[in-house]
Structure 1
Amino acid sequence: MTEAIHSLVSQHIGETGCVLFDDNLDAFVIRAISASEAGQSLDLQYYIWNHDLTGNLLGYELLKAADRGVHVRLLLDDMNAHDKDTLLATLEQHENIEIRLFNPSYERNNWFRRSFELIFRGLSLNRRMHNKAWIVDKSIAIVGGRNIGNEYFDAAPKTNFFDVDTLILGNAVSEVSSIFEQFWNSRSAIALNKLVKTKEGSLQELRQYIENMDDNIIKETNVYRERLKNSPSIGVLLKQGRPIFWTKEVHVYSDPPEKAVGKGQDQWLINQLYPVWVSAQSNLKLMSPYFVPGKEGVKLMADLRETNVEVGVLTNSLAATDVMIVHSGYAPYRMPLLKEGVKLYELMPFNHTKKKLFGASGASLHTKVFIKDDLTCFIGSFNFDPRSIRLNTEMGILFNQQEMAKVLSELFVLKVKENNSYQLFVENNQLRWKDGSEEPPIIWKHEPEVGIIKRAITRIASWLPIESQL
């Protein structure tokens, strides 16, 4: 893999190549293949790594890589790692695997003492590492919105996410590695072996479990194993498969790890993104699953509309969102935005665009992307909400590349089509949703596909003074 990457990069000195992955199964495959071809190192940084089918399959690839002598470093946010202590500690028994937890709670077992810790450390524990990065041999990196788990790779039985990653090669890979090193060596990253102990021999027991995997699990993994078996190597994939978009105008940015303690504000990611938004001359397209613009965001978009900049936003409908409380923070801003001429779209909770692997019919947006003036693009973990701006650490790739911007714009257009998303509009000073999935189109007078109880809870939650936490 390293030789193939070097051959490509040597033809584009000083440039960065980007390969888009909007298909969930392909996103799984590129991670699995790259791990299987790693020769020196795997540096992985994630907010969520689920203990499920795809999480375990990728975890097994890490174990096999470590067996080959690859140095594996895994940095996880502790918010979603806490219930996986035993499995993670078992993996870390391998001499080539190191695991650290970001901003962890120190009381791991006693829930009574942990409750006290949550009370006294509540403010600091509310700040999480939301970064996502997959770095192989410091030669390629994958950055985007996907965590590791079934719903990100089309393996969830009910609802799967629409998301986007980009594989990076060339100049900007060193920036991703530098960000990883900053977080890995930060005071907030604590070695797992200082927090959790596991019995000797646990790793061997895990290997035995994998060998004795029951028939049901093997049947479920066949889709993924077959796809891996029939997939080309990284080198072939890049040379003969997907288009590589090359550009010199690219950087990978991240909040500093110090944001976890409220410091380093001059280096926060928002300082890189805000000037891009306000400089839009013709159009700005946003895809954000959790969209809470606040008064500042409404003013930003209103100012853009004053100069005839077209602004379009795709977010989740109440029926599609996986975090109902965030929708309560977004809902009050719909009317002001629409009255300013912003086009608002909310993803339908149905998957009309692709074949489902395990029968899942539900869909939810998880893509964090913006395209400005059909040239400047961002792909990453950053949501357009107060939590991404002020609380969590985020990262992403910001670049100018017209062809890639065109592909992302086409993806936006596909997702906002009338059979995929509701288009919001104002009629007689009331909010309406146009549903083009039926013929003739349906006009909803309340949140579509949601019962009165859920609508009432969301309405009540919108009155609470919690916007800064959303």
Structure 2
Amino acid sequence: MSSSRQVPARMLFQPFAVRMAWRAMVLLLCVLLGACGSLPPFKQMAPTLTLPVDASTPLAKVVAASTPPGEHSGFRLMPLGVYSLDARIELAARAQHTLDLQYYLIADDGAGRLLLRSLKEAALRGVRVRLLVDDLYTASTEQMLLALQDTPNVEVRLFNPFCCARGHLASRFIASAFDLPRLNHRMHNKLFIADGVMAVAGGRNIADEYFTLNIAQNFVDMDALVVGKVVAQLGNIFDDYWNSEEVYPIAQIVRPGRQVPVRDKAFDVSVGMAGPERRIPLPSTDTLGYGPIGEELDAGRMGLLWGEAHAIADPPAKLRFVRPDQAYDASVTKRLWARLMEAEHDIFLTTPYLVPGESGIASLEDVRRRNVKVTLLTNSLAANDEPLVHGGYVRYRVRLLKAGIDLYELSPARTARSERLGMFGKSVGRLHAKTAVVDRREMFIGSANLDPRSATENTELGIVVDSPQLAREMLRIINISKLESAYRLRLAEPGDRIEWLTIDNEKEVILHSEPESTWFQRVYNQTFAPLVPEDLL
């Protein structure tokens, strides 16, 4: 890994104007260099595809023993972060032939190192590992990923990479100042496939805060363990990305920071290869009453909920579409909106970033005119890690309420007190789950937010399932968040003033300003959010 450089002591005592001039010169130099910064000529990679399923592997045998005759695809929802991380580690430890992963973010922290160790251990057993990572947040992990690439049976590729000045996120953008339209597009997909028969998909990246392991902030999120016919669809989606023009081998982009033996030793030390395997503390059951995945895998049979499922994903070439409408027409977002508009009775949605736009708000108003009940759960200002995006949502909040939509905002304080979706302790709880239930029988789970970035900039992945039983379990989780961890919003009479309602000691409490937010958060949001064009949120 690259180490951070200390600022020389003499620089700290220079007059402010001199320091500012120095920074301006460095910035100008970086911009000038950025004019010459470009990716290396595209080198044709040998395409590799998902391998045929080997029915003799332990995971394949578990799937066969767990599948009732005639069923399409099976699911286990994983609302509890530690259970979701444990599922990935268990699958990596039991895989015998292949592991295919694609992620927007793999952090250099406890969860990231645990996963990378599991991948190396699998590769040393002879498992073919293909790891695809979006290049936005790899400044601190690229040397670790390069070291993992040195392991036999491992190949690591980067999606839409930066060309140069790769040590920091800011320097990457500065050095690519004339390539920003391309770099604004990122791969937001999250997918883990083991032996072609079991997968984990949903909203979680690989970092401590997605698994309630961070002391400062943690996310309320959702993944699903998936088996059956839809896994083959997910494998095809992975292959499309893996072999796309937008993807480069990591060795073609990242320069080695150290000699191979030194880098490999540093990787082994960082992920604890020589030490005992890290155990993830797990409660005896999760929110839905299920035990750890490993226990059922040991028993050779899993309890799953079944339904007809379809995997949907944006094309990896979405970043090359010239017009936003072309990108939207090919998007997961458009297909999700289309299904929502077909609802006959009710819609339940959770999304951390809710910026519906004029067309989206008009569509929601239309379904309400058809007496379809709509319930939305999103982040409050205090819970939102993207305050400018929250400002985009605020533009539509009154219209949502006037349309008769049941609107809820996640409360960090109430989330910490509830503990049913994880032990948040003193950390800030934030919503990150992207889910939907339509007419209490169709469920969506995936990576797409209801905002402009998911619609036209990022690539996304999701699964749509027709299963009343699975929809019922998803609604249980949504209701826990809605009733125990959120504020209900309503319009005060008369006028457009908003009130936030909560229950405290069995008494209804009414709040008249953004709850749990600081003065600075409110002023910042009111001052800067209106200045940001909606298509940039």
Residues 108 and 196, structure 1, Cα contact 8 Å, conserved in 2: no
> What is the identity, as a one-letter code, of the residue corresponding to 1:192?
I
Picking from 488, 507, 511, the partner of 1:440 is 507
Partner residue in 2 for 1:146: 204
How many Å separate the matches in 1 of 2:221 and 2:171?
38
* Residue 378 in structure 1 maps to residue 444 in structure 2: yes
Q: What is the CA distance between 1:12 and its match in structure 2?
A: 3.5
Note if 1:314 corresponds to 2:373. Answer: no
Q: Quickly say closer, same or farther: Cα 1:360–1:156, change in 2 above 3 A.
A: farther
C-alpha contact 2:412 2:429 (8 A) present in aligned 1: yes
| TM-aligned CA deviation for residue 13 of structure 1 | 4.1
Cα distance 1:237–1:384, how it changes in 2: closer, same or farther (>3 A)? farther
Secondary structure at 2:507 match in 1: coil
In structure 2, C-alpha distance between the alignment counterparts of 1:31 and 1:317, rounded to whole Å: 30
1:160-171 aligned at under 5 Å gives the runs 160-171=218-229
- Structure 1, residues 143-190: CA drift from partner, whole Å, max 9, x if none? 100110101111100221111111111100011011111011111111
Cα distance between partner residues in 2 of 1:70 and 1:347: 41
1:53–1:149 contact (8 Å) kept in structure 2:
yes
Q: Label 1:226 to 1:19 Cα distance change in 2 as closer, same or farther (>3 A).
A: closer
Residues 288 and 368 in structure 1, CA contact (< 8 A), matched pair in contact too: yes
Residue 88 of structure 2 aligns with an amino acid whose one-letter code is R
> Aligned partners of 1:138, 1:380: CA distance in 2, in Å?
19
The question of whether the paired residues in 2 share the 8 Å contact of 1:332 and 1:462 is answered with no
Superposed CA RMSD: 2.5
SS at match of 1:378: strand
**CA separation of 1:448/1:66 partners in 2, compared to 1, >3 Å: closer, same or farther?**
same
The CA distance in 1 between the partners of 2:349 and 2:513, in whole Å, is 24
TM-score between both structures, scaled by the size of structure 2? 0.81
- Relative to structure 1, is the Cα distance of residues 271 and 209 closer, same or farther in structure 2, using a 3 angstrom cutoff? closer
Residue identity opposite 2:151 in structure 1 = H
Is 1:422 aligned to residue 487 of structure 2? yes
Asked whether the 8 Å contact 1:277–1:372 carries over to 2, the reply is yes
Q: Distance in 1 between matches of 2:528 and 2:121?
A: 47
Q: Does 1:260 align with 2:326?
A: no
Match of 2:409 in 1: 346
Match of 2:347 in 1: 284
For residue 195 of structure 1, the aligned residue among 241, 253, 258 is 253
User: 2: distance between equivalents of 1:391 and 1:366?
Assistant: 19
3-state secondary structure, aligned to 1:416: helix
Residue 457 (structure 1) aligns with = 524
**Separation (CA, whole Å) in 2 of partners of 1:128 and 1:200:** 30
Q: CA deviation at 1:203?
A: 1.2
- Partner amino acid, structure 2, of 1:373: D
2:90 alignment partner AA? I
Q: How does 1:93-242 map to 2 (within 5 A)?
A: 93-109=150-166, 114-198=172-256, 199-201=259-261, 202-208=263-269, 210=271, 221-224=278-281, 232=294, 235-236=297-298, 239-240=301-302
- Residue 62 and residue 462 in structure 1: after superposition, are their counterparts in 2 closer, same or farther (change >3 A)? same
1:158/1:359 contact within 8 Å kept: no
State the 1:137 CA deviation.
Answer: 0.8
Specify the alignment match of 2:106 in structure 1.
Answer: 49
**Is this contact kept in 2: 1:108–1:195, CA < 8 A?**
no
Percentage identity across aligned positions? 32
Shift of 1:18: 1.2
Contact 2:314 2:331 in 1 (8 A): yes
Give the secondary-structure state (helix, strand or coil) at the position aligned to 1:271: helix
SS at match of 1:148: coil
Give the match for residue 69 of structure 1: 126
CA separation in 2, counterparts of 1:354 and 1:224?
15
SS, match of residue 140 in structure 2: helix
Contact 2:354–2:450 at 8 Å: present in 1 too? yes
- Greater alpha carbon shift after TM alignment, 348-357 vs 442-451: 348-357
Q: 1-side partners of 2:459 and 2:144: how far apart? A: 25
CA distance in 1, matches of 2:410, 2:282: 31
Displacement, 1:63?
0.9
Deviation, 1:237, is 6.6
SS in 1 for 2:157: strand
Aligned-pair distance for 1:401? 0.2
Greater CA drift, 86-95 or 456-465:
456-465
**What residue in structure 1 maps to residue 46 of structure 2?**
none
* 8 Å contact from structure 1 (residues 289, 383) kept in 2: yes
**How far did residue 191 of structure 1 move?**
0.7
Letter of the structure 2 residue corresponding to residue 404 of structure 1: L
Structure 1 pair 75/447, CA: closer, same or farther in 2 (3 Å)?
A: same
The alpha carbon displacement at 1:10 in A equals: 5.9
Which whole-Å CA distance do the structure 1 matches of 2:424 and 2:390 have between them? 28
* Deviation of the 1:321 alpha carbon: 1.2
d(CA) in 2 for partners of 1:226 and 1:139?
A: 27
With normalisation by structure 1, the TM-score equals 0.92
The answer as to whether partners of 2:217 and 2:430 remain within 8 angstroms in 1 is yes
Distance in 2, Cα, partners of 1:153 & 1:114:
29
Provide the C-alpha distance between the structure 2 equivalents of 1:414 and 1:451, rounded to a whole number of angstroms.
26
* CA 1:358–1:251: 2 relative to 1, 3 Å: closer
Aligned equivalents of 2:221 and 2:356: distance in 1?
Answer: 21
Name the counterpart of 2:49. none
Residue equivalent to 1:7: 64
- Of stretches 78-87 and 176-185 in structure 1, the one that deviates more from structure 2 is 78-87
Aligned amino acid, residue 304 of structure 2: I
Q: Is 1:405 the counterpart of 2:467 in the alignment? A: no
In 1: Cα distance, 2:356 partner to 2:199 partner: 30
Shift, 1:276, TM fit = 0.6
The 2-side partners of 1:416 and 1:211 are apart by: 40
Aligned-partner SS, 2:188: coil
Q: Secondary structure at the residue paired with 2:312?
A: strand
Range moving further from structure 2, 108-117 or 451-460: 108-117
Amino acid aligned to 1:175: Q
- Mapped to 2, the partners of 1:310 and 1:271 lie a distance apart of 21
Structure 1 residue 460 displacement after superposition: 1.7
* AA aligned opposite 2:185: R
**Structure 1 unaligned blocks of 5 or more:** none
The answer to whether the Cα contact below 8 Å between 2:333 and 2:455 also exists between their aligned partners in 1 is yes
**Aligned with 2:531: secondary structure?**
coil
Cα distance per residue 1:327-349 (max 9 Å; x no partner): 01101111011011011100001
**Separation (CA, whole Å) in 2 of partners of 1:362 and 1:113:** 30
